[in-house]
């Protein structure tokens, strides 16, 4: 039988009591109406009626995730996570269509050194065969030729946008210009706006030509224009290839 040490209240005095004696004293206190000793804790009826099997110990969320990756615990609820859908593979046909490959263009064969190209008849295909001329310069040379009505000199290539002195020196030996192929402007028939479109005629010059026609009628030659302050001898040198007085 288990023995329990009980303090008697006297200094240094401790008495031994058996378990049966403690139980007898406890029952006597209950029957006499005295409250039970505060040192003895009794379980509540609710707590004592529950068994440990009713509430099994819940796994910690981290441990639960390790044991079963598909289980997800939110507070007191446990849910099963949906499996991650695998990314659908891109069809091979789509891959082929979306893959980019730089288009290959045939290399333009260049003319051998010593070839001479006539400026007023050459198209872009011919111009691109000249070393140093690509698509951009070929288009600019032709566009400026159309504005002028034709080239009277190879030196006019220096007036094309983008052709600097070095570029001009590299190109000049490859070309010639046939002045007989130039399209001329009839100063007696063209309206002022049409005259103004030529690169060598400005607004003031086109205006005085139209006014002079009204005053004198038909113009007969450069001697009529050189009487005007708007025209100089340098203008005559350039425009003589482009103006007609018919």
Residue 222 pLDDT: 94
- Tokens 């504005």, residue located: 147
Q: Do 11 and 17 meet the contact criterion of CB atoms below 8 Å apart?
A: no
Q: Compute the distance between CA of residue 99 and CA of residue 212 in angstroms, rounded to an integer.
A: 67
3-state class of 147 per DSSP?
Answer: helix
Q: Supply the pLDDT for residue 43.
A: 47
The pLDDT assigned to 11 comes to: 44
Task: Tell me what pLDDT residue 61 has.
Answer: 56
- Where would I find the H helices in 99-191? 124-127, 135-148, 165-171
Cβ(208)–Cβ(226) below 8 Å = no
Angstrom distances, CA of residue 155 to CA of 85, 140, 141, 218, 240: 72, 15, 12, 33, 16
Contacts of 175 (CB under 8 A, 6+ apart): 116, 117, 118, 119, 130, 154, 157
pLDDT of amino acid 92: 61
Pairing of strands 71-74, 77-80: antiparallel
Pairing of strands 175-176, 3-7: unpaired
How many C-alpha atoms does 154 have within 13 Å on its Cβ side? Answer: 14
132, two tokens: 């140093």
DSSP 4-25: EEEE-SSTT-EEEEEHHHHHHH
- Check residue 76 and give its pLDDT: 53
Domain boundaries, the chain: 110-182, 184-246
Give CA–CA dist 216/187, Å, rounded.
Answer: 13
Residue 151: CB atoms within 10 Å? 25
The predicted pLDDT at position 93 comes to 58
Query: Is residue 212 within a helix (H) or strand (E), and if so which, with residue range?
Result: helix 203-216
Q: pLDDT digit of tens for each residue in the chain (246 aa)? A: 444 444 444 444 444 444 555 445 544 544 444 444 444 444 444 444 455 455 455 555 555 555 665 555 555 555 555 555 655 665 665 555 555 566 666 778 999 999 999 999 999 999 999 999 999 999 999 999 999 999 999 999 999 999 999 999 999 999 999 999 999 999 999 999 999 999 999 999 999 999 999 998 999 999 999 999 999 999 999 999 999 998
CB distance 244 to 187 below 8 Å: yes
Residue among 153, 157, 156 nearest 179 (CA) = 153
Neighbours of 201 (CB within 10 A): 23
Of the options 3.40.50.80, 3.30.365.10, 1.10.150.320, 3.20.20.70, the CATH number for the domain spanning 110-182: 1.10.150.320
DSSP state of 28: H
Which pLDDT score, from 0 to 100, does residue 36 have? 47
What pLDDT is stored for residue 60 in this prediction? Answer: 57
């Amino acid at each position: 039988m288990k023995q329990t040490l009980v303090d008697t209240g006297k200094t240094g005095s401790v008495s031994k009591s058996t378990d049966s004696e403690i139980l007898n004293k406890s029952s006597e206190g209950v029957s006499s109406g005295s409250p039970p000793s505060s040192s003895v804790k009794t379980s509540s009826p609710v707590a004592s009626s529950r068994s440990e099997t009713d509430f099994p110990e819940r796994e910690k969320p981290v441990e639960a995730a390790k044991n079963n990756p598909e289980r997800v615990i939110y507070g007191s609820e446990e849910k099963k996570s949906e499996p991650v859908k695998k990314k659908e593979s891109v069809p091979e046909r789509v891959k082929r269509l979306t893959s980019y490959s730089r288009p290959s263009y045939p290399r333009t064969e260049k003319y051998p050194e010593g070839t001479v190209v006539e400026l007023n008849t050459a198209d872009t295909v011919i111009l691109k065969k000249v070393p140093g001329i690509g698509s951009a310069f070929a288009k600019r040379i032709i566009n400026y030729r159309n504005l002028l009505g034709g080239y009277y000199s190879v030196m006019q290539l220096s007036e094309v946008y983008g052709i600097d002195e070095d570029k001009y020196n590299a190109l000049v030996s490859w070309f010639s210009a046939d002045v007989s192929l130039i399209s001329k402007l009839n100063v007696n028939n063209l309206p002022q706006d049409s005259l103004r479109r030529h690169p060598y005629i400005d607004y003031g010059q086109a205006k005085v030509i139209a006014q002079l026609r009204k005053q004198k009628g038909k113009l007969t030659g450069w001697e009529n224009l050189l009487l005007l302050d708007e025209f100089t001898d340098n203008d005559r040198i350039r425009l003589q290839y482009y103006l007609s007085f018919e």
